[in-house]
């Protein structure tokens, strides 16, 4: 399977516009920042979703490498995306894959049993699939009528991650208490990541008590994210990860333009400033933490 621009996934291509629907956006790619002093990993990216000034897969990886973002976790959010993630990881040694039905995707599938069977087959058959996710709950885009299926899907992904000894990657939007409730009822796996952490100090501590790694995205640079920065400040350095969630959540000063892994240095520098960490120390910690969180180096 080619890992260049997807041509058979029109709903996925539209997904990048949904995050900022109604707003006129600058679709040009931002310039590359100054490289980081040591390598880090973008632990959550969607290389298969097109937005604006498109980067082909190899180009995206090499551009990220030029600023010391040397590895990427490619996340597949539906069946075509999961297949693509596995193929991309097989083709590009800088990548590993996560496969799942996104919380907003689960209520849309016609046959959840069949879809989950394919996710399990992909996760179980390939060593390059290190994660089951992103899964979880989203009460922002999914209404009451879809939430029962969403929760069922979440529970089944938790079970799958535990049975296959994969890292669980959780999407949590406007559903903090419910996510923790389901995790407590099912029992969290040994390794799990709160992707694009969006909570406050109390949620950070609740997740950390349950063994999570907390992953911070470009949102930590946003003006209105004081609560998120407070959560970052209390997170132990050995539990910190960084991500893009590209092509979404582009960090300041390029908020609203297409995101990509090469923009991670903006977020890492902001994290170091908030925490008062030495930049090299933080980079080294993020790199080691990501390996621990996803089951070792690749």
**pLDDT score of 24:** 59
* For range 155-168, the mean pLDDT: 98
117 within 8 A of 124, measured Cβ to Cβ: no
d(CA 217, CA 267): 7
pLDDT band at residue 10, thresholds of 50, 70 and 90? very low
pLDDT band at residue 138, thresholds of 50, 70 and 90? very high
d(CA 39, CA 41): 7
Tens of pLDDT along 46-89? Answer: 999 988 777 999 999 999 999 999 999 999 999 999 999 999 99
Which SS3 state, helix, strand or coil, does residue 16 take? helix
**pLDDT score of 54:** 79
Tens of pLDDT along 197-215? Answer: 999 999 999 999 999 999 9
Say which residues have a Cβ less than 8 Å from residue 40's Cβ, sequence separation at least 6. Answer: 68, 69, 70, 242, 264, 268, 283, 286, 287, 290
Asked, as a colleague might, if the bond just before 247 is cis with ω within 30 of 0, I would say yes
Query: In terms of CATH architecture, what is 40-293?
Result: Alpha-Beta Barrel (3.20)
d(CA 96, CA 89): 5
- With a cut of 60, say whether residue 133 has pLDDT above it: yes
More confident residue, 122 or 53: 122
Which SS3 state, helix, strand or coil, does residue 132 take? strand
pLDDT band at residue 3, thresholds of 50, 70 and 90? low
Neighbours of 207 (CB within 10 A): 27
Say which residues have a Cβ less than 8 Å from residue 187's Cβ, sequence separation at least 6. Answer: 158, 162
**pLDDT score of 1:** 45
Tens of pLDDT along 214-233? Answer: 999 999 999 999 999 999 99
The helix-helix angle for 226-234 and 264-275 (nearest 10°) equals: 70
Percent of the chain whose predicted confidence (pLDDT) is above 70: 92
Q: Which residues pair with 135 in a beta bridge?
A: 170
43 within 8 A of 242, measured Cβ to Cβ: yes
- With a cut of 80, say whether residue 23 has pLDDT above it: no
Q: Which pair of tokens denotes residue 111? A: 């046959």
* Whole-prediction pTM: 0.93
């Amino acid at each position: 399977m080619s890992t260049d621009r997807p041509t058979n996934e029109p709903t996925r291509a539209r997904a990048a516009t949904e995050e900022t629907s109604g707003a006129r956006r600058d679709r040009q790619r931002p310039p590359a920042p100054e490289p980081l002093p040591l390598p880090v990993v973008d632990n959550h990216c969607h290389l298969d979703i097109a937005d604006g000034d498109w980067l082909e897969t190899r180009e995206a990886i090499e551009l990220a490498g030029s600023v010391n973002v040397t590895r990427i976790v490619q996340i597949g959010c539906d069946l075509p995306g999961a297949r693509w993630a596995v193929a991309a990881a097989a083709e590009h040694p800088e990548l590993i894959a996560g496969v799942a039905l996104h919380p907003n995707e689960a209520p849309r599938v016609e046959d959840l049993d069949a879809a989950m069977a394919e996710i399990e087959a992909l996760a179980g058959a390939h060593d390059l699939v290190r994660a089951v996710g992103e899964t979880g709950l989203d009460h922002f885009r999914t209404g009451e009528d879809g939430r029962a299926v969403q929760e069922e899907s979440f529970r089944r992904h938790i079970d799958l991650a535990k049975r296959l000894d994969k890292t669980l990657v959780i999407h949590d939007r406007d559903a903090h208490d419910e996510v923790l409730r389901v995790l407590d009822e099912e029992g969290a796996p040994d390794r799990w990541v709160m992707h694009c952490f969006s909570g406050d100090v109390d949620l950070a501590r609740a997740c950390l008590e349950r063994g999570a790694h907390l992953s911070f995205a470009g949102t930590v640079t946003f003006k209105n994210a004081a609560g998120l920065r407070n959560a970052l400040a209390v997170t132990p350095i050995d539990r910190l990860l960084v991500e893009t969630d590209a092509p979404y959540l582009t960090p300041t000063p390029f908020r609203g333009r297409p995101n990509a892994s090469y923009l991670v240095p903006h977020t890492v520098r902001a994290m170091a400033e908030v925490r008062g960490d030495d930049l090299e120390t933080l980079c080294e910690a993020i790199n080691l933490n990501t390996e621990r969180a996803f089951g070792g180096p690749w």
